[in-house]
Amino acid sequence: MAGYDYDLFVIGGGSGGVRGARMAAGTGAKVAIAESYRYGGTCVIRGCVPKKLLSYASHFHEDFEDAAGFGWTVPQPSFDWAKLIANKDKEIDRLEGVYEKLLKGAGVEFYHGHARLLDAHTVEVGEQRFTAKIILIATGGAPSFPMEPGWEHGISSNEAFHLEELPKRVVIYGGGFIAVEFAGIFNGLGSEVTQVYRGPQILRGFDDDIRNTLAGEIVKKGVNLVVETTIDRIEKREKDLLVHLSDGSEVECDLVMAATGRSPNVHNLGLEEVGVELARNGAIKVDEFSKTTVDNIYAVGDVTDRINLTPVAIQEAMAFVDTVYRDTPRAMDHADVPSAVFSHPPVGTVGLTELQARERHGALDIYRSTFRPLKHTLSGRDEKTMMKLIVAKDTQRVVGVHMVGLDAPEIVQGMAVAIKAGATKQVFDATVGIHPTAAEEFVTMREPIPGDQAKAAE
């Protein structure tokens, strides 16, 4: 480490940065990390963790209703938004403390403040300067805001976690996973929700059966879904907001939330000045080993805009440590990464969409089942589950698993192991199902859909 203050300096204290720092320190390297906001990053502080806590809360209104079908008499429930947010904040504070404790326990020196590069080996944090042999950028991403007039009156997902009160009427702009998740959260907690999306169907990039099934279900739950429409402007009135849509209609509301995408956090990092090349969207360009165009500078996670998921950032960080500090170079395998959307009902998916599979494998066998979950035979709720297997016809390998319905993320996590292992449809068929569960449907679908009927569910 001659001539350097640290072997490794990590910029960004989210899941990828913290994992990289801790694991590198575990090899004996002297490591420091800097974070400008709170340790834990987007996922822990204002992303997947608090969002799922709010999602749990929003499910209870249906649970109270469903209980009657099972013989329970439930008094009229009431909801306290302030109490939910306070409890959520307490848990996030606890998790942030856990992250800092883990760093301290690993021997990592951590700093609070914005870090930027002065040269390829020098980092400035506030008024302090440090040198490092290797630098890892893990600064994540941030919400992108629309440019149309009036958006200064709107919020992003960041602010949604800190609202002082639950809005009665909400307009959510966007059709991706963040948009559909918050539409479900606000709708479940009692808000009147309008979701506006410019495309023909929500969840662009997901399998069409997922997109169409979920759209139908969220509309049944009361979300007013408006597609092929944009927001032209937002008008601030004395007591509320008036949203002007491209079709000429107007929506009165108390809150407008933008969920129109995220951008890599690269502002004021000094990257281009030291020769780190950026993509057109601002993402840091890296090779398969997460190395940038500067030999000693690496980047992982959302700031590279590969697959923007917390577990992917963690795996990329682990591959970085193996490559740089354990003398076992390896690239993160970005194939068949499972993901979930904590919508209402939730989505789980792994592998190829039907469109991707047809482009890559040609002839396919498609297995699809839509049914009413056992729970709702007594609850009386009109909610369907959709499950789908995509099989390459020539090899009979299962190349895609998709589900909309209760416990979809929990179920598909197990399916992801089978997909990663290269399981064939015959392996699925030979697997005994657990009865009675929804998950058993994945191993009991026997007949593929006839070719002329194998189009996405309407």
Same domain flag for 92 and 33: yes
172: domain CATH number is: 3.50.50.60
Whether residue 268 sits in one domain with residue 243: no
Residues 26 and 102 both lie in one domain = yes
Answer whether residue 333 is part of any domain. no
289 within domain boundaries: yes
* Residue 198: pLDDT band with limits 50, 70, 90: very high
Q: Using the 3D structure, point to which of 239, 260, 281 is the last residue of a domain.
A: 260
pLDDT tens-digit profile of 31-83?
999 999 998 988 889 899 999 999 999 999 999 999 999 999 999 999 999 99
Domain edge (last residue) among 214, 235, 260: 260
pLDDT of residue 453: 56
In a domain, 158, yes or no: yes
Tell me: do 21 and 135 sit in the same domain.
yes
pLDDT at 153 over 90: yes
Smallest Cα–Cα separation from 12: which of 438, 453, 320?
A: 320
Whether 334 maps to a domain, the answer reads: no
114 is catalytic: no
Q: Are residues 92 and 235 in the same domain?
A: no
Q: How many domains does the chain have?
A: 3
Range 293-307 average pLDDT: 97
55 shares a domain with 14: yes
List pLDDT tens digits, range 70-117: 999 999 999 999 999 999 999 999 999 999 999 999 999 999 999 999
Domain check: are 175 and 253 in the same one? yes
Query: Residue 384 sits in a domain of what CATH number?
Result: 3.30.390.30
Q: Specify if 436 maps to a domain.
A: yes
Domain limits for position 251: 151-260
pLDDT tens digits for 230-251?
999 999 999 999 999 999 999 9
Q: Are residues 64 and 49 in the same domain?
A: yes
- The two beta strands, 250-253 and 224-226, are unpaired
What's the whole-model pTM score? 0.94
Same domain, 181 and 120: no
> Does residue 1 belong to any structural domain of this protein?
no
133 in a structural domain: yes
Among left, alpha and beta (phi > 0; psi -120 to 50; other), residue 107 is left
Residue 134 has pLDDT above 50, yes or no: yes
Judge whether 237 lies within some domain.
yes
Same domain, 247 and 378: no
* Same domain assignment for residues 381 and 421: yes
**Residues 256 and 370 occupy one common structural domain:** no
Mean pLDDT, rounded, for 173-182: 97
